[in-house]
Amino acid sequence: MNDNAATPKQEHEPGTHPNWPAPILTSGPIAWMRDNLFSSPFNVILTLLALWVLWIIIPPIINWVFIEAIWSATDRKDCWAQMSEPEAGACWAFIQSRLSLFIYGFYPEAERWRVNLCFVMLILFLLPILWDKCPGRKYLLWYCIAFPFIAGWLLIGGFGLTPVPTNEFGGIMLTFIIGVTGIFFSLPIGVALALGRISNMPALSTICVIFIEFIRGVPLIALLFVASTMLNYFLPPGTTFDLLMRVLIMVTLFSAAYIAEVVRGGLQAMPRGQYEAADALGLTYWQSARLIILPQALKISIPGIVNTFIGLYKDTTLVIIIGMLDPLGIGRAALADAEWAGLAREVYLFIAVFFFLCCFGMSRYSLYLEKKLHTGH
């Protein structure tokens, strides 16, 4: 549409032409649609097809999730009785009645404030880490290092609180514990392993290679199984080494091995000149690692690292194999309650949304971080 045929008469003196908006057909939503949705007959067909599919799918979903949904009921029958026909809508009343179970697992009711406190502390922990303009960030970072330990003590019952055995942990809280601990500890361990692997001390690098390859060669589920059952055969009889602790160690080591490989990729992707420049400046190994190598290598590795974290986070559901009840396990046990049974869709959707929000959040943040740190070479 650039071809405005022959301009008729000159309406404005040269230099006095007002700034008109671009023609409606070349800018704004219509132009966008023309360019992106209806640019060729084939695209027109695809667009219409897609619209039709959405039209078929979306209204029933919205209807089920929101419009026909029931938010309070005493049991499944009551829930269904309130709908136009059974199962016409979601029975969120079920989730609501189990919400505390989904969040706290079997944590004693009187002590749940400790979990809530930990959730608040978790936000305080994430703030300075994720937001680099956070006021008082320098001091808060010290808090961040201490956080996992404080939270652990609080949950288990240090500080003279009533002890709560870890086998009463469950639900979302358990997912967070495993996820945060795994992420928190596996990054430094992974970086250390990566540095170790490319180090020119043969003994060190061999150990790191063996460790990394061993862990990467075994599925997490096998490691968890070892953690829960085999370890008891190796340790002296009668030993009770907290199961959650064992799981945390296994999960951390597992994701550390993956992080190590991701970071090694970053280290190797850096131009040799950077290493040489660091040496030429006379920096010691640790100085060059801290000031030159790692900042750049980690930046390159962000997508891979976050990818590993997301994987780790989702893998936390595997703990059900060893009898720990993450939200999925809680859901299963709740679904067997004859009063409510049959509402599997609600339960699984709820859990899916929870995991989606967490993982989507992580991946968005990683995109933001990449953009922010992108300085180009």
Which residues of the shown chain bind another protein in the complex (CB under 8 A)? 80, 86-87, 97-98, 100-101, 105-106, 109, 165, 167-168, 185, 188-189, 192-193, 195-196, 204, 225, 228-230, 232-233, 235-243, 245, 249, 252, 320-323, 325, 329-330, 332-339, 341-342, 344
| Alpha carbon distance 54, 33 (integer Å) | 17
Distances (CA, A) of 289 to 182, 260, 298: 24, 15, 11
Give min distance, CB of 35 to another protein, in A: 41
Residue 37 or 141: which CB sits closer to another protein?
141
Residue 122 or 321: which CB sits closer to another protein?
321
Residue 184 or 275: which CB sits closer to another protein?
184
Residue with structure tokens 């997301």? 310
Give min distance, CB of 156 to another protein, in A: 12
| Alpha carbon distance 269, 285 (integer Å) | 19
The 3-state DSSP class for residue 321 equals helix
Tokens describing residue 16: 């006095």
Give min distance, CB of 249 to another protein, in A: 6
Residue 134 or 150: which CB sits closer to another protein?
150
Give min distance, CB of 188 to another protein, in A: 5
Residue 101 or 178: which CB sits closer to another protein?
101
Residue 238 or 273: which CB sits closer to another protein?
238
Distances (CA, A) of 340 to 63, 123, 334, 336, 352: 21, 34, 8, 8, 19
Give min distance, CB of 150 to another protein, in A: 16
Phi, psi of 70 (to 5 degrees): -115, 130
Beta bridge partners of 70: 91
Tokens describing residue 299: 């930046």
| Count, residues in the chain | 377
Using an 8 Å Cβ cutoff, are 190 and 255 in contact? yes
Residue 192 or 283: which CB sits closer to another protein?
192
Give min distance, CB of 310 to another protein, in A: 22
Task: Give the type of residue at 283.
Answer: L
Measured in whole angstroms, the distance separating CA 24 from the mean position of its chain's CA atoms is: 42
Give min distance, CB of 176 to another protein, in A: 18
Distances (CA, A) of 100 to 161, 269, 318: 21, 47, 21
